[in-house]
Amino acid sequence: MLEEPPLRADAARNRARILDAAEAVFAELGPTASTEEVARRAGVAIGTVFRHFPTKDDLLAAIMKRLLARLVEEAAEHDLFAFFTHVVAQAAAKKTVVDLLPVDIRLAEAVGHLESAVGTLLAEAQASGAVHTGIRLPEVMALLVSVCQGALHSGWDEDLQRRTLTVVFAGLRAQS
Amino acid sequence: MLEEPPLRADAARNRARILDAAEAVFAELGPTASTEEVARRAGVAIGTVFRHFPTKDDLLAAIMKRLLARLVEEAAEHDLFAFFTHVVAQAAAKKTVVDLLPVDIRLAEAVGHLESAVGTLLAEAQASGAVHTGIRLPEVMALLVSVCQGALHSGWDEDLQRRTLTVVFAGLRAQS
Amino acid sequence: MLEEPPLRADAARNRARILDAAEAVFAELGPTASTEEVARRAGVAIGTVFRHFPTKDDLLAAIMKRLLARLVEEAAEHDLFAFFTHVVAQAAAKKTVVDLLPVDIRLAEAVGHLESAVGTLLAEAQASGAVHTGIRLPEVMALLVSVCQGALHSGWDEDLQRRTLTVVFAGLRAQS
Amino acid sequence: MLEEPPLRADAARNRARILDAAEAVFAELGPTASTEEVARRAGVAIGTVFRHFPTKDDLLAAIMKRLLARLVEEAAEHDLFAFFTHVVAQAAAKKTVVDLLPVDIRLAEAVGHLESAVGTLLAEAQASGAVHTGIRLPEVMALLVSVCQGALHSGWDEDLQRRTLTVVFAGLRAQS
DNA sequence: AATGAATGAGGTTTCATTCAT
DNA sequence: AATGAATGAAACCTCATTCAT
H helix runs in chain A, sequence order: 9-29, 35-42, 46-52, 56-75, 80-93, 105-127, 137-154, 158-173
How far apart CA B93 and CA B161 sit, in angstroms, is: 13
Mean pLDDT value across chain A: 90
- Residue C102's pLDDT is 46
- Residue A106's pLDDT is 82
- Residue D108's pLDDT is 86
> Which residues of A in 58-97 have their CB below 7 Å from strand F's atoms?
none
In chain D, the domains with their CATH numbers are 8-54 (1.10.10.60), 56-173 (1.10.357)
Nucleotide nearest to D44 (CA to C1'): F6
Contact in structure between D68 and D144 (CB atoms under 8 Å): no
Q: Within the 40-69 window of chain A, which residues sit less than 8 Å (CB to CB) from chain B?
A: none
Mean pLDDT value across chain D: 90
Name the burial class of residue C35, with classes exposed (0-12), middle (13-18) and buried (19+) by CB atoms within 10 angstroms of its CB: middle
Q: Please give the single-letter amino acid code of residue C16.
A: A
Q: What percent of chain A has pLDDT over 90?
A: 71
How far apart CA A88 and CA D146 sit, in angstroms, is: 68
Query: How far A140 CA lies from chain B's nearest CA (Å)?
Result: 8
Using CA coordinates, name the residue in chain A closest to B31. A32
- Residue D102's pLDDT is 46
Mean pLDDT value across chain C: 90
Residue range B52-81: average pLDDT?
Answer: 94
Cβ-Cβ contacts under 8 Å, B145 against chain A: 150, 153-154
Using CA coordinates, name the residue in chain B closest to A152. B146
> Residue A103 pLDDT more than 60?
no
Nucleotide nearest to D15 (CA to C1'): F5
Q: Within the 92-121 window of chain C, which residues sit less than 8 Å (CB to CB) from chain D?
A: 97, 99-101, 103
Q: Within the 6-25 window of chain B, which residues sit less than 8 Å (CB to CB) from chain A?
A: none
- Residue A152's pLDDT is 82
> Which residues of C in 57-96 have their CB below 7 Å from strand F's atoms?
57
> Residue D154 pLDDT more than 90?
no
Contact in structure between D169 and D81 (CB atoms under 8 Å): yes
> Which residues of D in 33-52 have their CB below 7 Å from strand F's atoms?
44-48, 50-52
Q: What percent of chain A has pLDDT over 70?
A: 91
- Chain B contact for A76, CB < 8 A? no
Cβ-Cβ contacts under 8 Å, A151 against chain B: 146
pLDDT band of B115, cuts 50, 70, 90? very high
How far apart CA C19 and CA A9 sit, in angstroms, is: 73
Interhelix angle D9-29/D56-75, nearest 10 degrees: 90
> Residue A2 pLDDT more than 70?
no
Query: Whole-number Å distance, CA D7 to C1' F5?
Result: 10
Query: Whole-number Å distance, CA D12 to C1' F1?
Result: 25
- Pick the range with the lowest mean pLDDT from B14-28, C65-79, D146-160: D146-160
Mean pLDDT value across chain B: 90
Q: Calculate the CA C44 to chain-centre distance.
A: 25
> Residue C39 pLDDT more than 70?
yes
- Chain B contact for A133, CB < 8 A? no
C-alpha distances (whole Å) from A6 to each of A9, A11, A48, A106 are 9, 10, 17, 20
User: D60-99 burial, b if ≥16 CB within 10 A, otherwise e?
Assistant: bbbbbbbbbeebbeebeeeebbebbbebbebbbebbbbbb
> Residue A161 pLDDT more than 90?
yes
**Most trustworthy range by pLDDT among B64-68, C10-14, C155-159, D34-38:** D34-38
Q: Calculate the CA B49 to chain-centre distance.
A: 22
- Residue B3's pLDDT is 62
